[in-house]
């Protein structure tokens, strides 16, 4: 099967806009992955602290915000 040729050429401005959009998407995704890793590391640290010192969980459960 013969594929038809493209009649429209893509301008360099269109390509620049597409790569800029991909860079923004990658930056946003990298930011959220970093935030997720920080949250996971914090939770792992708290779990290890609670494992070593069970009274820590009781102290955190008695903590009042108001």
| Sequence ranges of the domains in the chain | 12-61
- 9-63 tens-digit pLDDT: 555 555 566 676 778 888 889 999 999 999 999 999 988 887 887 776 666 667 6
CB 35 within 8 A of CB 28: no
CB 50 within 8 A of CB 56: yes
Residues in Cβ contact with 56 at an 8 Å cutoff, skipping those fewer than 6 apart: 49, 50
CA–CA distance, 56 with 22 (Å, rounded to integer): 45
Asked if the model's pLDDT at residue 3 lies above 60, the reply is no
CA–CA distance, 62 with 13 (Å, rounded to integer): 59
pLDDT at 30: 92
């Amino acid at each position: 099967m013969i594929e038809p040729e493209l009649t429209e050429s893509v301008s360099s401005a269109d390509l620049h806009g597409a790569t800029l959009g991909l860079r923004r998407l990658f930056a946003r995704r990298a930011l959220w992955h970093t935030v997720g890793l920080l949250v996971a590391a914090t939770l792992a640290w708290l779990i290890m602290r609670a494992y070593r010192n069970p009274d820590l969980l009781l102290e955190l459960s008695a903590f009042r915000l108001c």
